[in-house]
């Protein structure tokens, strides 16, 4: 029986890697699927992993209609057994509803990958609708870590290492922040609430030990 599954986690926890692995596994068993993404950090119409994996995908636009895309493809004689949607937090709630309809009425599996909350710890509209409609919500088990070593549960937006809490909800960036440029950092709840980034912790106490991670 087809399912709508939402795989969620913070930045840097391997969502895109898992999305590409899942696509490989299903395709290897002879299933036909479509890959979608929106505003990937590597550019348009691509799913990229920090481990260096990349795969071409269909870019989700405001005008994208998943129901129409699947129906059109099938009418052209092309099977569609599953959809994989990366960066699903950026999808419109109406598009998430289209995905649910694809599952229920066309028996197509839908695997959506994305983060749940923004830099202010507020749900993205697309992620909120996925939580409301998904058959299952899976929290990824690969732990991203805060600078203190605790499990990272929140995404922080930074400018020159300083956490900011105002601005547009969607600004594409990565966890590899460069001095004086906008970037993102994953934090535990305690340090997100305190707005304590790794840079801020070092400035407050030079003796504080922070974990250095090289992202791929």
* Cα gap 105→2, rounded to integer Å: 10
- Quote the pLDDT of residue 111: 98
Q: Chain-centre distance of CA 196, in angstroms?
A: 23
What integer pLDDT is reported at residue 213 of this predicted model? Answer: 43
- pLDDT recorded at residue 214: 38
pLDDT computed for residue 207 by the predictor: 62
Distance of alpha carbon 139 from alpha carbon 188, whole angstroms: 16
What is Dmax (Cα atoms) for the chain?
A: 64
* pLDDT confidence of residue 57: 93
214 classed as catalytic = no
Locate tokens 């202010």: which residue? Answer: 120
Comparing C-alpha atoms, which of 8, 39, 12, 9 is closest to residue 169? 39
User: Of residues 3, 59, 87, 132, which has the active-site annotation?
Assistant: 87
User: In this structure, how many other beta carbons lie within 10 angstroms of the beta carbon of residue 27?
Assistant: 13
DSSP, res 149: S
- Could you give the dihedral angle defined by the CA atoms of residues 178, 114, 213 and 42, in that order, rounded to the nearest 10 degrees? -50
pLDDT, average across residues 145-173:
88
- Model pLDDT, residue 175: 53
pTM attached to this predicted model = 0.83
**Where is average pLDDT lowest: 78-87, 144-153, 170-179, 197-206?**
170-179
- Whole-number pLDDT of residue 127: 96
What average pLDDT does range 9-24 have in this prediction? 89
Counting Cβ atoms within 10 Å, is residue 86 exposed (0-12), middle (13-18) or buried (19+)? buried
Q: Answer for the pair 75, 24: CB distance below 8 angstroms, yes or no.
A: no
Nearest to 125 by CA among 67, 62, 174: 62
Domains annotated for the chain, with CATH where assigned, are 4-139 (3.40.50.300), 154-204 (no CATH)
The predicted model gives 53-69 an average pLDDT of 93
Residue 122 CB contacts under 8 Å (≥ 6 apart), including other chains = 169
Which residues does 110 contact at the CB level (< 8 Å), separation at least 6?
2, 3, 4, 5, 82, 83, 85, 99, 100, 102, 103
- The mean pLDDT value of the chain amounts to 89
What are the tens digits of pLDDT across the range 89-99? 999 999 999 99
């Amino acid at each position: 029986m087809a399912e709508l599954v939402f795989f969620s986690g913070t930045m840097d926890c391997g969502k895109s890697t898992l999305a590409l692995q899942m696509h490989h596994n299903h395709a290897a068993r002879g299933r036909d699927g479509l890959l979608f993404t929106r505003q990937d950090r590597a550019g348009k119409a691509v799913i990229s992993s920090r481990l260096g994996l990349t795969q071409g995908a269909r870019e989700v636009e405001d005008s994208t209609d998943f129901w129409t895309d699947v129906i059109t493809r099938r009418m052209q004689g092309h099977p569609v057994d599953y959809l994989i949607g990366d960066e699903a937090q950026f999808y419109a709630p109406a598009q998430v509803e289209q995905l649910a309809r694809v599952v229920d009425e066309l028996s197509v599996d839908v695997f959506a990958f994305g983060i749940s909350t923004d830099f202010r710890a507020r749900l993205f509209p697309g992620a909120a609708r996925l939580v409301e409609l998904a058959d299952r919500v899976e929290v990824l088990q690969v732990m991203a870590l805060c600078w203190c070593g605790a499990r990272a549960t929140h995404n922080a937006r930074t400018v020159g290492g300083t956490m900011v809490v105002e601005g547009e909800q969607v600004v594409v960036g990565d966890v590899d922040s460069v001095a004086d440029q906008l970037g993102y950092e994953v934090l535990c709840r305690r340090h997100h609430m305190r707005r304590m980034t790794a840079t801020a912790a070092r400035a407050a106490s030079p003796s504080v030990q922070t974990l250095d991670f090289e992202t791929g």
